[in-house]
A and B are shown apart, each in its own frame.
Chain A
């Protein structure tokens, strides 16, 4: 493990570096493993990969690190400690966006990566956070990859937050931010982001980790496949309503359930995120 006190020498790096950082904020701590390849390519944004509610960050590192190293891109894999972040998927009462921002700023300041724009990937609960983060801070995202989210915040201001972007009366406590309103303010920029949606072909179980809520069932569907389609449809519709041509793909991962290692090994999910294999899905048109 690299001694982070030596960060000043890292700018001229020629050897790959793996290091671990902790971000400590009043909102909670965040751990992150950073993989800096040898001869990093300035033309490729770093990949920020967010785990799901199993918090299996190591599985993300295992799947992505060889690919990002080969492509000369930096890989950033945070882990939200469960004690600090019983819920990290949503931005509202909890603010997981803040330590993520702080992490990106730290890496930028250390010269380890240009984090002003990152490719953002999330699986399951990580996909929930990923798309919500991108809705608040689209300027930080080069491309958004969401895989197998349990449910979504739809870019639709006719649907109440957090399922959509309508701010209900008395929804926002005094002194707290109106997250839905802030997302609405950023919506056009969000809809211009390249969006890649992935979901396992067999990810149709209403398992205990899936949010089961009648309103979500009615609005987004009863399983992750249906909900992913609902998100894609809403994204496309919102973009078109604003005169934006969406850059959107939808990929069904054959032979895969709700299992990241399986998605990576069987369907090449990590390779697809890294753009190293031909997307098996169709453009969502």
Chain B
């Protein structure tokens, strides 16, 4: 009977690596739920998320009564919700359209309450084990890969990180590099993922490929392991270098912990910092310098304004580069050299 429910359900983007044939039964031991476990639920009412992102890569309009499969997870999104990975048997919250069920703690005043979902059970395999996104993750990397990585950081959400990540990936691809475009932290969503694919990158993956629904409230060790797993997979795919976006701002908990981690400076070959204005640039560069990180360039909304760019350059000494420059193969190539990318022709 459950097979029919699983087959009818809309499986979220964050479950895309899951083998659906393993779904066998349901259990309702809600007090044992942990982030990543797959939940079958039924939409009660439509709130902020009127659509969800399917594993197939398209959005799907939601209706009350829809069956959905999403993992349990936390959410950090200052412009939407903050939520934790808890499932209330009476009803839980859709924290992200890419697939994240939990309990909302706070919401931005400008958005609607969350879409409500009746949890029907944790999905179990035939042996009774609860299916978890970690079951389907990329292999664990045992060492930090040597792949050069350009990290894209920013002041906050919507500072221009994804635009910069995509443009640089495309510019590097035009210059002939095999580029891996990766998202190291954040909440599972196909928006950025699809933008990365559209850039022509040779390899695209995010933290959900490393088994995490969201990196919010995950221990630093697990987030760092996920990043190593992504880099190892990119290396295995024959990439010459990686461009990795780190979500949210540099004061966000996991991002701040990553930057402060001494290991960051060993695997992060270079940093590009996205920000909105010259003051943000000055503050961000100073904060990063406090951690021993010195950006190769500033970008983001700031770079749309020649005057703001000039102010930022004067204040920080860091060059400002805009989207069209990142898209230029000659400009992008400079960053490849700065992070020590090497190409070995397969013909050589």
Q: Name A's B-contacting residues (CB within 8 A).
A: 42-46, 91, 97-98, 101-102, 104-105, 108, 114-117, 136-137, 139-140, 142, 174-175, 177, 179, 182, 185-186, 189
With A42-B346, A117-B347, A139-B177 in contact, do A189 and B337 touch (Cβ < 8 Å)? yes
Query: Are B345 and A137 touching (Cβ within 8 A)?
Result: no
Q: Which residues of A contact B175 (CB under 8 A)?
A: 101, 137, 139-140
- Asked if B333 lies at the interface with its beta carbon under 8 angstroms from chain A, I say yes
**Contact flags B303-322 to A (C-beta < 8 A → 1, else 0):** 00010000000000000001
With A104-B176, A139-B177, A182-B331 in contact, do A174 and B337 touch (Cβ < 8 Å)? no
A192–B208 alpha-carbon span in the complex (Å): 41
Q: Which residues of A contact B243 (CB under 8 A)?
A: none
Q: Which residues of B contact A189 (CB under 8 A)?
A: 337
A65–B47 alpha-carbon span in the complex (Å): 67
Query: Are A179 and B330 touching (Cβ within 8 A)?
Result: yes
Output the nearest chain A residue to B325 by Cβ-Cβ distance.
A177
- Asked if B112 lies at the interface with its beta carbon under 8 angstroms from chain A, I say no
Contact residue among A91, A142, A186 (Cβ-Cβ distance under 8 Å from B334):
A186
Q: Which residues of B contact A97 (CB under 8 A)?
A: 329-330
Query: Are A101 and B174 touching (Cβ within 8 A)?
Result: yes
Query: Are B306 and A136 touching (Cβ within 8 A)?
Result: no
Output the nearest chain B residue to A46 by Cβ-Cβ distance.
B347
With A185-B334, A189-B337 in contact, do A142 and B348 touch (Cβ < 8 Å)? yes
Query: Are A98 and B329 touching (Cβ within 8 A)?
Result: yes
Query: Are B331 and A116 touching (Cβ within 8 A)?
Result: no
Q: Name B's A-contacting residues (CB within 8 A).
A: 173-177, 306, 322, 324-325, 328-331, 333-334, 336-338, 341-343, 345-348
Output the nearest chain A residue to B174 by Cβ-Cβ distance.
A101
Q: Which residues of A contact B177 (CB under 8 A)?
A: 139
Q: Which residues of A contact B173 (CB under 8 A)?
A: 105
Output the nearest chain B residue to A175 by Cβ-Cβ distance.
B324
Q: Which residues of A contact B329 (CB under 8 A)?
A: 97-98, 101, 137
Contact residue among A91, A105, A114, A136 (Cβ-Cβ distance under 8 Å from B345):
A114
Output the nearest chain B residue to A186 by Cβ-Cβ distance.
B337
Query: Are A114 and B328 touching (Cβ within 8 A)?
Result: no
- The 19 listed contacts between A and B (C-beta, < 8 Å) are A43-B348, A45-B347, A46-B347, A98-B329, A101-B174, A101-B175, A101-B329, A116-B176, A116-B346, A136-B330, A137-B329, A137-B333, A139-B341, A139-B342, A140-B175, A175-B322, A177-B330, A182-B331, A185-B338
Max chain A Cβ within 10 angstroms of own Cβ: one of B328, B341, B345:
B345
A98–B348 alpha-carbon span in the complex (Å): 24
Query: Are B324 and A105 touching (Cβ within 8 A)?
Result: no
Output the nearest chain A residue to B348 by Cβ-Cβ distance.
A117
Q: Which residues of B contact A115 (CB under 8 A)?
A: 176
Contact residue among B328, B331, B343, B346 (Cβ-Cβ distance under 8 Å from A139):
B343
Query: Are A42 and B347 touching (Cβ within 8 A)?
Result: yes
Query: Are A177 and B336 touching (Cβ within 8 A)?
Result: no
Nearest CB in chain A: distance from B3 CB, A: 38
A107–B201 alpha-carbon span in the complex (Å): 17
A189–B328 alpha-carbon span in the complex (Å): 19
Nearest CB in chain B: distance from A99 CB, A: 11
* Shortest Cβ-Cβ A-B pairs, 4 listed: A117-B345, A114-B347, A139-B343, A185-B334
Q: Which residues of B contact A44 (CB under 8 A)?
A: 347
Nearest CB in chain B: distance from A16 CB, A: 18
Given A108-B176, A137-B175, A139-B336, 18 other A-B residues pairs in contact with their CB atoms under 8 A: A42-B347, A43-B348, A44-B347, A45-B348, A98-B329, A101-B175, A105-B173, A114-B345, A116-B345, A139-B341, A140-B175, A142-B345, A142-B348, A175-B325, A177-B325, A182-B333, A182-B334, A185-B337
Output the nearest chain B residue to A189 by Cβ-Cβ distance.
B337
